[in-house]
Amino acid sequence: MKLEDYNPLEDKIYRIMDKQGEILKPEDLPEFNNEQLLYLYRTMLLSRTMDEKQLSYQRQGRMLTYAPNIGQEATQIGSAYALEKKDWLVPAFRELGAWLVHGVPLKNIFLYWYGNEWGSYMPEDVRVLPISVPIASQLQHATGIGLANNINKENNVALTYVGDGGTSEGDFHEALNFAGVFKTPTIFVIQNNQYAISVPRKNQTASKTLAQKAIAYGMPGIQIDGNDIFAVYSATKEAVDRARRGEGPTLIEAITYRLAAHTTSDDPTKYREDAEVEEWKIKDPILRFKKYLEDQGILTQEWDEKVKDEIEKEITSTFEEIEGQSDTEIEDIFKYHYETMPPLLEEQLNEYKNFLREGEV
């Protein structure tokens, strides 16, 4: 594909596979072998099941506030799959699929949402930054990682995510502007899931597309069907290749839909119609990919059931392991603020430990 062929001002959406799983642009279909295709499908199922389980644990009072990704699996998994292990992934907070692809252990993900900082402690070889809650602030880190790559003459890239609402933040514009000026190897993926909590996309900006904002910053921008895993991968791969060649940043607007609530504290029936949700359910990224895999004879019902069973077990046992763990150690609350703990913190820690010797909080 050619990014340049998709002028974001024309509101043209890049798509390889339609909602029935039919291939519209065979010439752009990524050359995946069956193992890769089934890996992608399995990861989509893992992400979806994880979300469903978390929501159910939350309703049972066993999990805290949770932000589900249901409906956005293709955007997350297809884009992260275009990275190599040495590349950096800079998430916002709704990128479960991308985390899974780039090597974050399931246990970390549970730990984080279970309220434990150790969830953000990545294994040494996993180049994923902790979840970033302040909207759009993480984009600048991806620009900085890219700038450091340029200075260090390293051949890796940084991929970062933001939502449609995040494009209204100043940090979004500053990050893209810096990336353009310094030509950093950064790929910005907007997960346009149509809502920033309750505020629809049309109320965020008067721009026709979000991708067109790329033009102002001197980089290519493209709108893609975020529920088509092939289009997501293909566009991201092209952006990654450009970045690796030293040609600078790219902005990708992936059009998708948040089928679930913003978080478990949100009630989407207050701001959107059921009919709209039903319409997007037909465009579910997993359904169409499954259809494609079945049509190609790659996915069998037997494999599907076996994998679903595996995933169910993996998730249940990981969660039960986390659930059985005790609360945060007191020392851990203090220990990681500075390389060496200042006397002030030591004093507060010791005073509190003395208090605890007298019994419970």
Indicate which residues carry an active-site annotation: 258, 262, 271
- Interaction of residue 199 with other proteins, rule CB under 8 A: no
Q: Locate 323 and state its tokens.
A: 């659930």
Tell me the residue ranges of DSSP E strands in 29-83. Answer: none
Q: CA torsion sign, 87 to 91 to 149 to 31?
A: positive
Q: Locate 219 and state its tokens.
A: 């980089």
Taking the alpha carbons at both ends of the chain, their separation in whole angstroms is 61
Length of the chain: 361
- Interaction of residue 141 with other proteins, rule CB under 8 A: yes
Q: Which of 63, 142, 162, 214 binds other proteins (CB under 8 A)?
A: 142
Q: How far is CA 236 from CA 138, 187, 309, in A?
A: 19, 8, 31
Enumerate the H helices of 153-208 as residue ranges: 170-182
Number of residues that bind other proteins (CB under 8 A): 46
CB of 284 to other proteins, least distance (A): 33
Nearest of 214, 199, 285, 293 to residue 250 by alpha carbon = 214
Site string for other proteins, 300-339 (x = CB under 8 A): --------------------------------x--xxxxx
Residue among 177 and 207 whose Cβ is closer to other proteins:
177
- Interaction of residue 342 with other proteins, rule CB under 8 A: yes
Within 59-98, the residues that bind other proteins by CB under 8 A are 88, 90
- Interaction of residue 166 with other proteins, rule CB under 8 A: no
Residue among 115 and 200 whose Cβ is closer to other proteins:
115
- Interaction of residue 146 with other proteins, rule CB under 8 A: yes
- Interaction of residue 134 with other proteins, rule CB under 8 A: yes
- Interaction of residue 352 with other proteins, rule CB under 8 A: no
User: Which of these ranges, 22-30, 60-68, 126-134, 222-230, lies near other proteins under the rule CB under 8 A?
Assistant: 126-134
- Interaction of residue 354 with other proteins, rule CB under 8 A: no
Residue among 33 and 340 whose Cβ is closer to other proteins:
340
Residue type, 53: K
Classify residue 355 as left (phi > 0), alpha (psi -120 to 50) or beta.
alpha
- Interaction of residue 113 with other proteins, rule CB under 8 A: no
3-state secondary structure 88-155: EEECCCCCHHHHHHCCCCHHHHHHHHCCCHHHHCCCCCCCECCCCCCCCCCHHHHHHHHHHHHHHCCC
Residue among 72 and 143 whose Cβ is closer to other proteins:
143
The residues of the shown chain that bind other proteins, judged by CB under 8 A, are: 88, 90, 117-118, 120-122, 124, 129-130, 132-134, 137, 139-152, 158, 170-171, 174-175, 177-178, 181, 332, 335-339, 342-345
